[in-house]
Structure 1
Amino acid sequence: MKKILVPTDFSACALSAENYAFFLAKKTDAEMVFLHIINTPVDWSKLSKEQENLFPDTKKAISDAKVHLNELIHKAQGQGIRSSKLLVYNNGNIKIHEFVASEHIDLVVMGSHGQYGFKDHILGTNTYSMLRRSKIPVVVVKENNTMAKLKTLVVATNLREETGHAFKSIETLAEVFGAKIKMVYVNTPTYFLETNDIKQLGREYLREYANYEHEIEVIDAFKEERGILQYAKNIDAEGIAVVTAGKSDLMQYFSPSITENLIAMTDLPVISIRK
């Protein structure tokens, strides 16, 4: 892992994500890229210095943002972490995922507020957009998160072929983070399978996609989110990983809404990887 993108609006919510990103950067020796997108009433890059004075509030916001970004750079330097900054002027509809390819980003760490209701209580709409569009892993960190460790990572799986390659990515990511994977399959009334069938699916799935031996815990629950969270609590996990995919008739287990509900319902960092 070479680069971690940390979008920030300098709020308390973003601070938790920043601190967690510092922890991950230390573990992986990755460079941190701090991104702040500031909304401007006009195309700021085309204004002269005199014209900028016509927008005093925006000018002050830009000045404050530069100060905050420099503080983050100095904080990273103090911890021996390589870092860079991006201040982007937006008078249109710029999205964070646009910078992933151009900056060669390997991981995105973003913040989320603690209230239930993911879509309405989030670090802007960009976190929501990233979960649905990002082709690289996204780590969402809650506002009140103080945890700076990741020894045990719950990986929720539906054991379907279409999630296999994403599972390989999670396994690699866990290895980089030095985390032990604990796999869980939630057996719900809607998609009920007999235990022997689940075990057979698990053996075939791991044989095809896993590089290491893993046990798959089967949890019975009415809802997938409840089963995942109960299992994470039972084993004192420090994080949850899920594969996010578009909704389908086959199974909506890993739909974006499930991932978003998990984020809203848990204080643990959630790693989302699209299949």
Structure 2
Amino acid sequence: MKKIIIPIDFSEHSEYALKTAAKLAEKHNAELLALHMLEMSDIMLSTTDGIQNQKTMFFLQLAEQKFKDFLNKDYLNDVKVTPIIKHFKVFSEVNDVAKKYDADLVVMGSHGTNGFTEYFVGSNTERVVRNSNLPVLVVKNDMMDVNFNVVAFACDFSEESINSYLKAKEMFGKQGAKVYLIHVNLPNERFKSSLEIEKKVVNFFAKADSNLDKMEDVFYVSDYTIENGVLNCANKIGADLILVPTHGRKGLAHFFQGSIGEDVANHATLPVMTFKI
């Protein structure tokens, strides 16, 4: 991990993200790419009117100064920080920045009250996750520790989840973390027998790893909802982080086949990292 993008909107939660990213940067000797996206219209930026031009320059300079002041933190003294300002709030531009600077991770702060949909929908975080091709680490609080030694990967063991699994395995394998996979078996029409689940898991690892060594790191959980199963199991195994694959097409309420549940991150005391399928 060499470069980390932190979208900044000057909120309390974006500072949580900045602090977390700074700790990760110190740990991995990485560079921080602090990204602020202005809400400037085409008219303001392309106008030839003198007074309008002056207003535009004033707002640009004001935003740049506010950004500079926001990044003036003691905890950033020993971290390389590259400030980046985009004139439009276009969240797909996170991918452009990632490609230009060869970034590895996006870190964002967010808050929640009553479920995963309310936690993200309409927020900058939801839009970044939806558009980002990079893994996105979402934090809600001021994290004291970024040592993710035990990681819980929520998985339905579909073939389309293989790529996310391999990315997660590579990222956290390098850090010496133990990655466990959690499969939640639901009642009613989504219920599967133990034999059906095991066949699916065997097929998954055979294609992903060409071996079945990780079978011993799979937890099978029966619960009424996926979110409850994931959270209960993550707490039981002492996980430091929950990983979730996402399609990114309809936001974080649609992670993989079906929905992982709207309350996962909101009810979790743990940070959540998403991987694009």
| Range class of TM-score, shorter chain | 0.7 to 0.9
Amino acid of the structure 1 residue aligned with 2:204: Y
Q: Quote the residue 1:164 is aligned against.
A: 162
What is the rounded CA distance, in whole Å, between the counterparts of 1:194 and 1:164 in structure 2?
22
Deviation at 1:54, TM superposition (A): 7.4
Cα distance between partner residues in 2 of 1:141 and 1:186: 24
SS, match of residue 9 in structure 1: coil
Q: For 1:257 and 1:187, how far apart are their aligned partners in 2?
A: 13
Q: In terms of mean alpha carbon deviation, does 187-196 or 165-174 score higher?
A: 187-196
Q: How far off is 1:247 after superposition?
A: 7.9
**Could you say which residue in structure 2 is the equivalent of 1:213?**
213
Which position in structure 1 is the counterpart of 2:191?
Answer: 192
Distance (whole Å) between structure 2 residues aligned to residue 35 and residue 222 of structure 1: 40
Name the structure 1 match of 2:29: 29
Aligned-residue sequence identity (percent) comes to 26
The one-character-per-residue Cα deviations of 1:135-155 (angstroms, maximum 9, x if unpaired) are 221111113544432111001
Q: In the alignment, what sits opposite 1:18?
A: 18
Q: Which residue in 2 is equivalent to 1:232?
A: 234
Q: Give the one of 94, 101, 104 matched to 1:103.
A: 101
Supply the AA of the counterpart residue of 2:202: R
Q: Is the 8 A contact 1:7 1:36 kept in 2?
A: yes
Q: 2:229 is paired with a residue of what secondary structure?
A: helix
Given that residues 132 and 256 in structure 1 are in contact (C-alpha distance below 8 angstroms), is that contact kept between their aligned partners in structure 2?
no
Q: SS of 2:146's equivalent?
A: coil
Cα 1:264/1:47, change in 2 over 3 Å: farther
**2:178 paired with 1:180:** yes
TM-score, normalised to structure 1, is: 0.82
Structure-1 residue corresponding to 2:246: 244
| Structure 1 spans left out of the alignment, 5+ residues | none
Measured against aligned partners, the alpha-carbon deviations of 1:132-177 in whole angstroms (never above 9, x if no partner) come to: 2222211111135444321110011111111112211010011133
1:2 and 1:59, CA in 2 relative to 1: closer, same or farther beyond 3 A?
Answer: closer
Superposed CA deviations along residues 37-68 of structure 1, whole A, max 9, x for unmatched, are 23236228989899435786665344222222
Counterpart of 1:220, as a letter, is S
- SS of 1:43 mapped into structure 2: helix
How far apart, in 2, do the equivalents of 1:47 and 1:29 lie? 47
Structure 1 pair 253/273, CA: closer, same or farther in 2 (3 Å)? closer
Instruction: Give the drift of 1:120.
Output: 4.6
**Does the CA-based 8 Å contact 1:247-1:255 persist in structure 2?**
no
TM-score for both structures, normalised by structure 2: 0.82
CA distance in 2, matches of 1:68, 1:219: 44
1:131·1:256 contact (CA, 8 Å) conserved in 2? no
Query: 2 CA distance for matches of 1:174 and 1:111?
Result: 21
Cα pair distance change 1:227/1:102, threshold 3 Å: same
Q: Distance in 2 between matches of 1:185 and 1:136?
A: 24
CA contact (8 A) 2:184 2:222 kept: yes
User: Letter of the aligned partner of 2:199 in structure 1?
Assistant: Q
> What is the count of residue pairs matched by the alignment?
267
Residues 1-275 of structure 1: pairs in structure 2 closer than 5 A: 1-40=1-40, 42-43=44-45, 51-52=53-54, 59-69=61-71, 71-72=72-73, 75-78=75-78, 81-90=79-88, 93=90, 95=92, 96-122=94-120, 125-143=123-141, 145-189=143-187, 190-210=189-209, 213-214=213-214, 215-245=217-247, 254=256, 258=260, 261-275=263-277
Question: Counterparts of 1:109 and 1:6 in 2: how far apart (Å)?
Answer: 5
Could you tell me how far apart the structure 2 residues matched to 1:99 and 1:173 are? Answer: 20
CA shift digits 1:108-135 (9 cap, x unpaired): 1111113234455559733212222222
Classify the secondary structure of the residue corresponding to 2:38. Answer: strand
